[in-house]
Amino acid sequence: MAGTNYYLLSFLSTPEALGAEPPILRGDFLHHLDAHEQPRPRELAETIFLSDDLLQRDAVLAGEIDDPEPVILTVDQLRDEEPLPDFLAGRTADAGADTNTIAADVVWEAYFRHVAVVAGRLNSPFLRAWVGFEVALRNELAEARARALELEPTDYYVAQDLADAGDLSATFNEWAAAANPLQAQRVLDQARLDWLNENDAYFTFGDDELAAYAAKLILAIRWHRLARAMEGGEEEGTGDSGLGTGKE
C-alpha cells in the first residue's frame, strides 16, 4: 500500500556511506513491516536479508567469525549443525553432476534461483534486477580469482543464466588495483551501493523501494560489523566467493 509505504520510508533514515552506523537493525525493520501488515515487502526483505546470513555462514564455516548474527536462518544453521531450508539444501541438477563443485557454491546457486522464483511470484522488477546484478558480480569475481590461480573460471560460476549487470570492467580494474583485501571488498560493495542508488525506485513509495532499502541496509550492517571486528583486532571474512586455492 503506497500510503503505508510513504509513512515507513519517511520514518526510516537512509543508510549512509559504507562504514557508518546502520540506521536500523534488520529485525527491527522486519518488525515495522509486520506492524503495518506488509507481507509482500516483508517477503522481499527476508529474501534479500538471507544473502547476508549466507555470507556469515561462509565466514563461520571458514573459521573467520565465531559469533554470527543471522536474522533469517538460525545460528545452528550457520554452523552447519542444523539443516538448511529445503530450497537451499538441495543440489541443483548441474551441481549434482559435478563432484568437484564447491559446497558453498551449491548453496549460493540454490539461493539465487530461489530469489529469481520469488521475484517472479511477487512480480518484483527490483528483485529480478538485483539478483541479476549480484550473480554477475559474483561470477566476475570468481573468474578474476580463478584466472589469478590459473584455474578454469567456469568451474566457479553459479546460476550463470541469471547474470545481468552490463559492463563491470571498471569495477574489477579498481578491485585488482586495491592495496589490500579490505579495500578490494569496499570496491565491490561501493559498486553494489552505486547500483542500488541507480535502481532503488526512489520516491515511488512502492514495495520495491522498501526492498531496495533492505539491500542498502545489509551493506551498512556488513561494514558496521567489519568496523567492530577491526576495532577488536580481528579479521572478519567478507569475500563474495568461496574460491580458494583449490576445491573442497
Question: pLDDT tens digits for 32-87?
Answer: 899 888 899 999 999 999 999 999 999 999 999 999 999 999 999 999 999 999 99
Question: pLDDT tens digits for 163-196?
Answer: 998 899 999 999 999 999 999 999 999 999 999 9
How much is the pLDDT for 17? Answer: 81
Q: Give the angle 115-196-35 at the CA atoms, nearest 5°.
A: 65
pTM score of the predicted model: 0.88
How much is the pLDDT for 46? Answer: 98
- Cell numbers representing residue 89 in the block: 539444501
Quick check: 96 pLDDT over 60?
no
Which has more confidence, 159 or 20? 159
Question: Which residue in 115, 136, 123, 4 sits closest to 50, CA to CA?
Answer: 115
- Cell numbers representing residue 33 in the block: 513491516
User: pLDDT tier at 242 (50, 70, 90 boundaries)?
Assistant: very low
Instruction: Answer whether 163's CB lies under 8 Å from 139's CB.
Output: yes
How much is the pLDDT for 6? Answer: 67
Quick check: 238 pLDDT over 70?
no
Quick check: 244 pLDDT over 60?
no
Note the helical H segments in 62-98: 75-78, 86-89, 93-96
How much is the pLDDT for 246? Answer: 32
Question: pLDDT tens digits for 122-162?
Answer: 999 999 999 999 999 999 999 999 988 989 988 899 999 99
Task: State the CB neighbour count (10 A cutoff) for residue 148.
Answer: 10
Quick check: 198 pLDDT over 50?
yes
Element (H, E) at 45: helix 39-61
Average pLDDT over every residue of 88-99: 54
Average pLDDT over every residue of 221-241: 70
How much is the pLDDT for 233? Answer: 57
Average pLDDT over every residue of 3-28: 82
How much is the pLDDT for 98? Answer: 52
User: pLDDT tier at 232 (50, 70, 90 boundaries)?
Assistant: low
